Structure 1
Amino acid sequence: MAKPHPDRERALERLTEVAAVLERPDVTMRRMFGSEGLAVRGKLFAFASTAGDLVVKLPEQRIGELGLDPMVMRGRPMREWAVVPYDAGEERWRTIAGEAYAFVDSISP
């Protein structure tokens, strides 16, 4: 098995710290898009990208309000998925991951 890219590895460490701060009993780690991510009732709301950034699921309007770039997959921007750069800092990651949790929680049965 290949060793994770160093940027993704440090992002996964931060993501684990963010998960601990969220302190939600229904949040689990699961694998998607080739990386570990956070899910609520099995629905992914945040994960670490291969570049080491946080990718979150939010309403399109909120992504614009936060000034985030959309996640691009296979050359296409993904609707309701945005990138939070690693350099934005752990506090911003926590805040936005919390918003992503609330959004996915509200749309998941």
Structure 2
Amino acid sequence: MVDRDAMARAHEIFDPIAERQCALPDIDLGRMFGAEGLRVRAKVYAFVVHNGSLVVKLSEERARDLIASGTAGPMIMRGRPLREWVEVPMDAGAAVWAELIDEARVFVDAITP
């Protein structure tokens, strides 16, 4: 179920970050998991989900660290946690979101031909 209020609040944080990201080379917006997200050379690295959380792709080790610290939870897809994807709640704040989006971009850029 989509929480439209949470999505609107999340996009107040995400959209300005996305605008700055899209000014970088090879970055644009595209679809993944039914949401529009940031992509580097067509590979998605960050997007907002139906509950207003940010989802980012990071190394498996970094994802485990964020989950262990309580900063993020695992991204669950079809009942399974995805190893390199974490879900960061809105209450983590814009600065944390911006930092993790940058980190995700660098990670995906490095693994994308």
**Are 1:12 and 1:36, in contact at CA under 8 Å, matched by a contact in 2?**
no
Cα distance between partner residues in 1 of 2:15 and 2:73: 23
**Aligned-residue RMSD, C-alpha:** 1.7
Question: What corresponds to 1:20 in structure 2?
Answer: 19
1:96 to 96, 100, 109: 100
Question: What corresponds to 2:8 in structure 1?
Answer: 9
**Are 1:70 and 1:78, in contact at CA under 8 Å, matched by a contact in 2?**
yes
Aligned ranges 1:49-64 → 2 under 5 Å: 49-64=49-64
Aligned ranges 1:17-96 → 2 under 5 Å: 17-22=16-21, 23-66=23-66, 67=69, 68-96=72-100
Deviations 1:65-100 (A, max 9, x none): 233211011211012000111110000000000000
Segments of 5+ residues of structure 2 without an aligned counterpart are: none
Comparing 14-23 with 87-96, which one deviates more in the overlay? 14-23
TM-score (norm 2): 0.85
Equivalenced residue count is 107
Deviations 1:42-76 (A, max 9, x none): 00000001000000000111112233211011211
Identity %: 47
